[in-house]
Amino acid sequence: MPTDEVVYDGRRLEIEIEPTVVMLNKPKGVITTARDPQNRPTVFDFIPSKTRLFPIGRLDKDTTGLILLTNDGELANFLLHPRHQIPRLYVCEIEGRLSPRIIAKMSKGIFIGDGEFGRCQVLRQNTVKKRSKVTLKLTQGKKREIRRMFSALKIRLFALHRIQYGPVKLGKLPAGRWRTLTSDEIASLRELRKRKGKTAG
Strands (E), the chain: 6-8, 11-13, 21-26, 54-55, 64-70, 88-95, 110-113, 116-118, 121-128, 131-138, 157-165, 168-169, 178-180
CATH number at residue 153: 3.30.70.1560
Q: Based on the domain organization, do 45 and 22 belong to the same domain?
A: yes
Single pTM value for the model: 0.87
pLDDT digits (tens, 9 = 90+) for 147-178: 999 999 999 999 999 999 999 999 999 999 99
Measured between alpha carbons, how far is 119 from 122 in angstroms, rounded to an integer?
Answer: 10
To the query of whether residue 184 is one of the catalytic residues in this protein, the response is: no
Q: Give me the catalytic one of 60, 72, 114, 184.
A: 60
Note whether residue 7 is domain-resident.
no
Note whether residue 193 is domain-resident.
no
The domain containing residue 97 runs over which residues?
87-165
Q: Based on the domain organization, do 149 and 54 belong to the same domain?
A: no
pLDDT digits (tens, 9 = 90+) for 10-60: 666 555 457 789 999 999 999 998 888 888 999 999 988 677 899 999 999
Number of structural domains (the chain) is 2
Q: Cα separations (Å) of 73 from 13, 76, 81, 116?
A: 18, 5, 12, 27
